[in-house]
Structure 1
Amino acid sequence: MTQMEITVRGSHSVYAPPQRATASLQVAIDGPTSDEVFAGVNRTAAAVRESLEPLHRPDTGPVTWWSSDQIRTWANRPYHDEGVQLPLVHHARLGFQVKFSEFVEMGRWISGVAALPGASITGIEWALTADHRTLLVAQVRAAAVRDAESKAKEYAAALGVTTVRAIAIADAGMLGEGLHPVTASGASFARMKSSDNGGVEFAPQDVAVSADIDARFLAG
């Protein structure tokens, strides 16, 4: 039988409990004067920074890293429902990003800062440590290659061919000139509820680590 090419896509995913969480906090205050809203955001931001100082220990946590933006201010004249332009309203915003290694402590911190004027949690991103993610990526890539080989053998067997040989392997979408890789990413979410110690208790879903590869085989 003449040799034929078989091109397949191999995929694999694993799911691991999150080891890190980055909480996004926004301080937002609106008011009739720029001085008032600027001072209000500054007061809340100072309280947030003060709450982070005893928790921030880069090597041991519970806060391994945090950052804040510059205060942004602007003003606009809103309109009444009847189309009448209302007095000028001033706005001030400031954002924080805080990475936690301990989720119980994160819940306590969120409960405290959420009570500050103008403060609100806008999102939580769950993640793995860099070393653990690197290990899992290597594992899922190898498993994706095995998945592609298994598919190629199944196609070949359907034609009565018993041997296949890999001649090209690439990131998904790269087996062709001018193509670009297709990346797969897994999202993770969490359920939240109040805990007995007055904090917020989280039940995060596992973090997905996925790999997709394209492979070309010669069968026959």
Structure 2
Amino acid sequence: MSEVTVTVRGEHEARVAPERATIRVSVRAEGPERTTVVEQVVRLAEPVRGSITERADAGSVVDWTSKRLSVRAERPWNNEGKRLAPVYYASIDFTATFVEASELSIWVSDISPWDGVEVGWVNWHLTPETTARIEREVAAQAVGVAVTRAETYAHALGLEGVTPLEIADVGLISSGQPAALAPMMKVRGAAFAADSAPAMEYEPEDIVISATVEARFLAR
């Protein structure tokens, strides 16, 4: 046996503690008068905005946004099948990115009892710099696993070494598409309702960054 083509798959994953937490909070109001509802939601949103900017100034919030006021009207039906007068709904949404889970928990515990406040989802994530670094490391490890497997198969056949012919993401090998190393990233986060508990505690799961590659080698 002079030479054999060996096709293998290499996988690797890394688990990293989140560095950032981005939370969404909505302030809502409703009532029969549009002007009154708009004034109410703007008034209720001011303390939330102030609490975010205070934490941004202190450095515990690294980024935040506030979406413009949204207003809609609905005409409900009564139990006799008649349309009632319009009810107006107004909302203002905020997002804030915290650097510490403990700071996020304290802030949510503070604002969740406020009138009109609804706490939404939390997205746990890494900084772009950390994400890029971990992706490079995981991709390199996945390639290393593929090389080791190919060498193991070659040695089992009594062959000495392997020469790489192709390497690609899963499903792309020999497809004619450009080969690239692009690890798949999986992020596990959590969303909590504002009324789930009087005090909020956030314990994020690790972020899993994984890469899988396929490779073809010539074993001699």
For the aligned pair, the TM-score class normalised by the smaller chain equals 0.7 to 0.9
**Distance in 2 of aligned mates of 1:81 and 1:217:** 73
User: Counterpart of 1:33?
Assistant: 33
Deviation for aligned residue 1:14: 0.8
User: Counterpart of 1:45?
Assistant: 45
User: Counterpart of 1:219?
Assistant: 219
**Distance in 1 of aligned mates of 2:125 and 2:135:** 13
Deviation for aligned residue 1:80: 4.5
User: Counterpart of 1:106?
Assistant: 104
The percentage of counterpart residues that share the same residue type is 32
**Normalising by structure 1, what TM-score?**
0.82
Partner SS, residue 55 of structure 2: coil
Change (3 A) 1:83 1:178: farther
Is the CA contact 2:154–2:162 (under 8 Å) kept in the aligned structure 1?
yes
Is the CA contact 2:44–2:115 (under 8 Å) kept in the aligned structure 1?
yes
Deviation for aligned residue 1:75: 1.3
User: Counterpart of 2:73?
Assistant: 75
Deviation for aligned residue 1:83: 4.5
**Distance in 2 of aligned mates of 1:100 and 1:180:** 37
Superposed counterparts of 1:87-126, under 5 Å: 87-126=85-124
Give the superposed CA RMSD: 2.7
* 1:203 maps onto 2:203 in alignment: yes
Is the CA contact 2:183–2:209 (under 8 Å) kept in the aligned structure 1?
no
User: Counterpart of 1:167?
Assistant: 165
Letter of the 1:50 counterpart? G
Deviation for aligned residue 1:165: 1.7
Deviations 1:79-107 (A, max 9, x none): 44664433322121221110111222211
Deviations 1:156-189 (A, max 9, x none): 4555544322122233343323589776222223
**Distance in 2 of aligned mates of 1:191 and 1:123:** 4
**Distance in 2 of aligned mates of 1:72 and 1:183:** 39
**Normalising by structure 2, what TM-score?**
0.82
Q: Which runs of 5+ in 1 are unaligned?
A: 193-197
Q: Tell me which of 133, 136, 139 is aligned to 1:138.
A: 136
Number of aligned pairs?
213
User: Counterpart of 1:177?
Assistant: 176
Q: Which runs of 5+ in 2 are unaligned?
A: 193-197
